[in-house]
Amino acid sequence: MQTHFSLAQLADPHVEAANSILRKCVHCGFCTATCPTYVLLGDELDSPRGRIYLIKDMLENDRPATQEEVKHIDRCLSCLSCMSTCPSGVNYMHLVDTARVHIEKTYSRPAPDRMIREVLARVLPYPDRFRLALMGALAGKPFAGLFARVPALKPLAAMLRLAPGLPHGRAADDKGGVHPAHGTRRARVALLKGCAQPVLNPGIDEAAIRLLTRQGVDVVRVKGEGCCGALVHHMGREEEALNFARNNVDLWIKEMETEGLDAILVTTSGCGTPIKDYGYMLRLDPAYAEKAARVSAITRDISEFLPTLDLPKAETPRDMRVAYHSACSLQHGQKVKTPPMDLLRRVGFEVVEPFDPHLCCGSAGTYNMLQSEIAGQLRDRKVATLEALAPDVIAAGNIGCMTQIGSGTGIPIVHTVELLDWATGGPTPAALAGRAKAA
């Protein structure tokens, strides 16, 4: 694609990076076929190629974002399916991130939208605030239908509907600590605590810790870790996202340089994608560029790390059919597609995949609250393809997808590591208690 940025514009490293990305796009449109919003809405402006044109025009003319541009860019899930399809290697993720920052800086959103975004940014990344909000949401749940009738309050209605129940309290290792390896130590890893996951489902990391320590891995919970920054990053709140990243980078580097870490493991793939990108996000900060790149280099989704541990192989198949939902942040953002399914098969589960596995379930961070109608359609579509497989259980590697899909089906949904832990000696996952066949 031809671009026409001036030399003065290109002196800005963000514009320069956007220019390089734009120039790689050959407008072939292959990406449109795999874009969930284009598949649903059929509007070129809701496709990756259409959005790329909008972003180019906005940045090239160095002007505030318009309402129309904001509408179509807000509708993008940042699912990155387009990046898996693109034959030219267009880094749409970095381009749309730049566009979101530009929108945040130049566009004045209507007051209700501003307010909802402010609440999400000030609550979700902080576990104690999120716990309180979930308790409030339980009280407000009966009013969700009422709020849904007022267009400006639809995000509030979506928040109330998604609230899964009473939040979980702080875990015993909330203030940090080490879960020692059983037997001879083979590795030492940090396991990201994150922000929303421990409030919604602490059982995921409990399963991960049991699984890892049984296989001879020391698991460190690093004191002071916070949100990875993804939630605010996707809202274009750049400085807040970078500050979350800096905090975590400092803590992990300290751990790497003292006791040592073989890897930083993540059980929420929506967090793994930005942490693997910290090196890029902080490349312009001389105090953090090198440290952030070192952190990104040893960050792994847990399903990438577990194959190095040779989990015990099942001698006979287990009588349990698992429908595996591949989170976008894992399959497109991190290009980790088959390892979770290989691991589940290794320990004896029958694993099946739904039709159109590349399509997003509509969760996408805060998307299911901010764009609840599109998110609802994507969820229903995903649930229908999963239910068509008649599985005993659905497995996924991202709490956002689990919450989103779980809000639309009666089939139990668990994290992949909960099944792996169960099959190798751990307890029955909470979602399967009382209804599971023996693992």
Residues forming the site for ligand SF4 (CB under 6 A): 25-31, 35-37, 48-49, 51-52, 76-82, 85-86, 88, 90, 92
The nearest distance, CB 289 to ligand SF4, in angstroms, is 26
Residue with smaller CB distance to ligand SF4, 375 or 420 = 375
Inter-CA distances, 332 with 178, 231, 242, Å? 32, 18, 23
The nearest distance, CB 341 to ligand SF4, in angstroms, is 22
The nearest distance, CB 38 to ligand SF4, in angstroms, is 6
The bridge status of strand 350-352 relative to strand 187-191 is unpaired
**Alpha carbons 340 and 326: distance in angstroms, whole number:** 9
The nearest distance, CB 82 to ligand SF4, in angstroms, is 3
Cβ atoms 411, 387 nearer than 8 A: yes
Residue with smaller CB distance to ligand SF4, 27 or 149 = 27
Residue with smaller CB distance to ligand SF4, 325 or 415 = 325
The nearest distance, CB 123 to ligand SF4, in angstroms, is 25
Residue with smaller CB distance to ligand SF4, 37 or 385 = 37
Residue with smaller CB distance to ligand SF4, 211 or 378 = 378
Contacts of 313 (CB under 8 A, 6+ apart): 346, 347
Residue with smaller CB distance to ligand SF4, 335 or 437 = 335
Cβ atoms 34, 81 nearer than 8 A: yes
Bridge partners (DSSP) of residue 218 are 188
The nearest distance, CB 79 to ligand SF4, in angstroms, is 4
Query: By CB neighbour count within 10 A (0-12 exposed, 13-18 middle, 19+ buried), where does 438 fall?
Result: exposed
Q: Which residue has the tokens 């749309």?
A: 96
**Alpha carbons 121 and 153: distance in angstroms, whole number:** 17
Q: By three-state DSSP, how is residue 258 classified?
A: coil
Q: Which residue has the tokens 């099959």?
A: 423
Contacts of 254 (CB under 8 A, 6+ apart): none
